[in-house]
Amino acid sequence: MRAEGLACSHAGTPLFSGASFTLLEDEVAFLTGPNGAGKSTLLRTLAGWDVPAEGRVELCGRRFDGADRAQRAQMAFVPDTPVFYDDLTAGEHVELVRRANRIPRASDPSERLMDAFGLAERRNLLPSSYSRGMRQKLALVLALACRPRLLLLDEPYGPLDPESAEVLSRLLVEARVAGAAVLASCHHGVAGLRPDKWLRLKGGRLERDPADAC
């Protein structure tokens, strides 16, 4: 993924401008910054959910705005508040994603992911009955099951208990080894996952964090 000169606003208020960076295959980047700096807006723009006032996003060497279905299939975005269908159980969400993405049942990792996050025995419940942490885990299952080339995650560790956070770190390491690029917003480092890049959004600018060891 490549972002070049992105500028975004919220409710008419400028958030940031000139945001540029490159994220290569098998790289993990953490996006940090104070509340209100625009981290969620940046991720939504990268995912094609929001339209930037300026700049462009490229995915797999082509301009990306979310309109091309084939391009969209190459990435997965988990927002800070995942949304689910009211009348589908967790298991039915898993089956819907499998069919929509034409994932062969024999190679579908969904059951392994559900088990890893402790959701297997709760697959017949509606997500509306889940705790916030359980809903986050279900959203992560649905994203990881598609084996995207790019994962965009908005505060994925926030609602998770320490054990589930370790599971997520392990799964993101697996995704990186398989060639996926990962961009996750967070407020600090997390156990079990060392990023290749730190990006900091503050004062309307996106910069490489001084703590970036790369």
Q: Model confidence over 45-75: pLDDT tens digits?
A: 999 999 999 999 999 889 999 899 899 999 9
The token pair at 176 is 């990186």
Please indicate whether residue 213 or residue 147 has the higher confidence score (pLDDT).
Answer: 147
> Average pLDDT of the chain?
94
What per-residue confidence (pLDDT) applies to 11? Answer: 82
Please write the tens of the pLDDT for every residue from 120-130.
Answer: 999 999 999 99
Question: How far apart (Å, rounded) are the C-alpha atoms in residues 9 and 14?
Answer: 4
Asked if residue 213 has pLDDT above 50, the reply is no
Proportion of the chain above pLDDT 90, given as a percent: 89
Confidence of residue 210 (pLDDT cuts 50, 70, 90): low
Task: Count CA within 13 A, CB hemisphere, residue 119.
Answer: 33
Contacts of 46 (CB under 8 A, 6+ apart): 1, 3, 57, 77, 152, 183
- Which pairing describes strands 54-59 and 62-63: parallel, antiparallel, or unpaired? antiparallel
Per-residue pLDDT at 187: 83
pLDDT attached to residue 208:
85
The token pair at 30 is 């953490």
How large is the average pLDDT for residues 149-157? 97
- Model pLDDT for residues 66-105, shown as the tens digit of each residue: 899 899 999 999 999 999 999 999 999 999 999 999 999 9
Return the HEC string of the chain. CEEEEEEEEECCEEEEEEEEEECCCCCEEEEECCCCCCHHHHHHHHCCCCCCCEEEEEECCEECCCCCHHHHCCEEEECCCCCCCCCCCHHHHHHHHHHHCCCCHHHCCHHHHHHHCCCHHHCCCCHHHCCHHHHHHHHHHHHHHCCCCEEEECCCCCCCCHHHHHHHHHHHHHHHHCCCEEEEECCCCECCECCCEEEEEECCEEEECCCCCC
pLDDT band for position 214 (cuts 50, 70, 90): very low
Q: Packing angle between helix 90-100 and helix 132-145, nearest 10 degrees?
A: 20
